[in-house]
Structure 1
């Protein structure tokens, strides 16, 4: 049974954080998560659960399902295999944002860039 009063009214999204090295991707992901928590958003960081980072398509499915259900899902993963992830999100109409930490001065700068892109899509 589905009760409309229990549905999340906040739009979900997947934020795919790319770039090297992994430590910067993780720091940017958690900095963004903290900012979103402060705004009372539902947030999940998919941080290499069961080495899912090796299979972007599978990780993308998990992220897309959570995002469709009102969660902002942050995935600090490499850029390989993202075509399937983008296609799945586009087909379901689920918001999808990519942010690269490469060339950024700090993880906080990457988090600010991602937050800015999410806010413009709300």
Structure 2
């Protein structure tokens, strides 16, 4: 189970999609905080990439190296999801509906990470 390990658990990409940039970013940092409190390696990739494809590739590389890469991106990207599937890299996508839903979205992403590790 993911919560039983510290820094040696498999990585994953968590893609936070949705219309509100503020809500996505807030959810990303809340999730990273939860994971770090559990002694897991987590990185938020926000605003440092020119396009979602580049962010997806970077997240995949981090995930393959045991880091949970959290990407608060505006849209779902089929190519990113397909690349993760092809490489066998864990990928979780959560839609952040609106401002104020960040905590719920972070909890949902955390639950899906735990569920996928069993």
TM-score (norm 2): 0.88
Listed as ranges, the gaps of 5+ residues in structure 2 are 1-6
Per-residue displacement from partner, 1:95-117 (whole Å, max 9, x unpaired)?
00000111685211100000000
Return the index of the structure with the highest Cα Rg: 1
Q: 1:112 aligns with which of 91, 107, 110?
A: 107
Q: Please list, as runs of the form range in 1=range in 2, the aligned pairs for 1:37-76 lying within 5 A after superposition.
A: 37-49=36-48, 52=49, 54-76=50-72
Matches within 5 A, 1:1-122: 9-49=8-48, 52=49, 54-79=50-75, 82-102=77-97, 105-122=100-117
Q: Distance in 1 between matches of 2:88 and 2:101?
A: 31
2 CA distance for matches of 1:57 and 1:106? 26
Q: How far apart are the structure 1 equivalents of 2:103 and 2:91?
A: 20
Alpha-carbon distance in structure 2 between the residues aligned to 1:58 and 1:47: 12
Q: How many pairs does the alignment contain?
A: 111
Question: Which has more helix, going by share of residues?
Answer: 1
Question: RMSD between aligned alpha carbons?
Answer: 1.5
Once structures 1 and 2 are overlaid, which stretch shifts more, 24-33 or 100-109?
100-109
Q: 1:83 to 1:69 in 2, by over 3 A?
A: same
Q: Which runs of 4+ in 1 moved over 3 A?
A: none
Structure 1: runs of 5 or more not aligned: 1-7
Deviation digits for residues 12-59 of structure 1 (CA, Å, limit 9, x no counterpart): 00000011210000000000000000000000000111xx2x411111
